[in-house]
Amino acid sequence: MSNGGFLLVDANVLIDYQAADLAILTRVSRHIGKVHIVSSVLAEVEGLDEAECKRLGFCVVEPTLVQATEAAQANRRLSFPDRTCLVVCRNNGLTCVSNDKALRRACLSVGVPVRWGLELMLDLVQHGQLSADEAATAAERLHNANPVFVNATILAVFRKKLTAMD
């Protein structure tokens, strides 16, 4: 799982779960690992603010000046919010939850553990906090909302993993 049970989700995961059901991330935060969101990432997500994050049980993280300065250094492969996720995860022992391959590669290159967005639902199912049917329905909504990152192949693999858990 994650280092110390702390997870930092990036914008694409937040947006995906916003399309499926943000309450699933609340369950993750309660039962799997506290969900953290970097403030610059939160700024990218329409319809979600710090007050709502607090209500849902998420922790909004404000990077330190040193972290923001490091993240501001040019890197053509990652956006500033993604670089901030990387630095905050690395410095705070957080697991980065992202579907972005470039961010995942960058995290792994500096020893930051990573998780796919859909893996969080598998964790919930495994811990009896989400039914396989609920997970399948949410995954379908994720796919419909974001067929690029959650494509048909990824959805099929997810369904196969759900079936194997029964």
CATH code of the domain containing 19: 3.40.50.1010
Site of tokens 């799997």: 32
Same domain, 53 and 89: yes
Give pLDDT, residue 128.
95
Question: Sign of dihedral through CA atoms 70, 72, 76, 78?
Answer: positive
3-state secondary structure of 165: helix
Could you tell me if 84 and 71 are in contact, meaning their C-beta atoms sit under 8 angstroms apart?
yes
Give pLDDT, residue 76.
78
Distance from C-alpha of 166 to C-alpha of 158, rounded to nearest angstrom: 13
Same domain, 28 and 81: yes
Distance from C-alpha of 124 to C-alpha of 28, rounded to nearest angstrom: 7
3-state secondary structure of 133: helix
Same domain, 8 and 76: yes
Distance from C-alpha of 133 to C-alpha of 166, rounded to nearest angstrom: 11
Same domain, 12 and 69: yes
3-state secondary structure of 97: strand
Give pLDDT, residue 162.
95
Same domain, 80 and 100: yes
Residues 6+ apart with CB under 8 A from 66: none
Each of the 166 residues of the chain gets a pLDDT tens digit; together they read 443 479 999 999 999 999 999 999 999 999 999 999 999 999 999 999 999 999 999 999 999 999 999 999 877 789 999 999 999 999 999 999 999 999 999 999 999 999 999 999 999 999 999 999 999 999 999 999 888 888 999 999 999 999 998 7
Q: The pTM is what?
A: 0.92
Distance from C-alpha of 46 to C-alpha of 42, rounded to nearest angstrom: 8
Number of domains in the chain: 2
Same domain, 110 and 138: no
Same domain, 111 and 131: no
Residue 62: domain span: 3-115
Could you tell me how many helices (H) and strands (E) the chain has, helices first? 10, 5
Same domain, 38 and 102: yes
Could you tell me if 113 and 93 are in contact, meaning their C-beta atoms sit under 8 angstroms apart?
no
Same domain, 37 and 67: yes
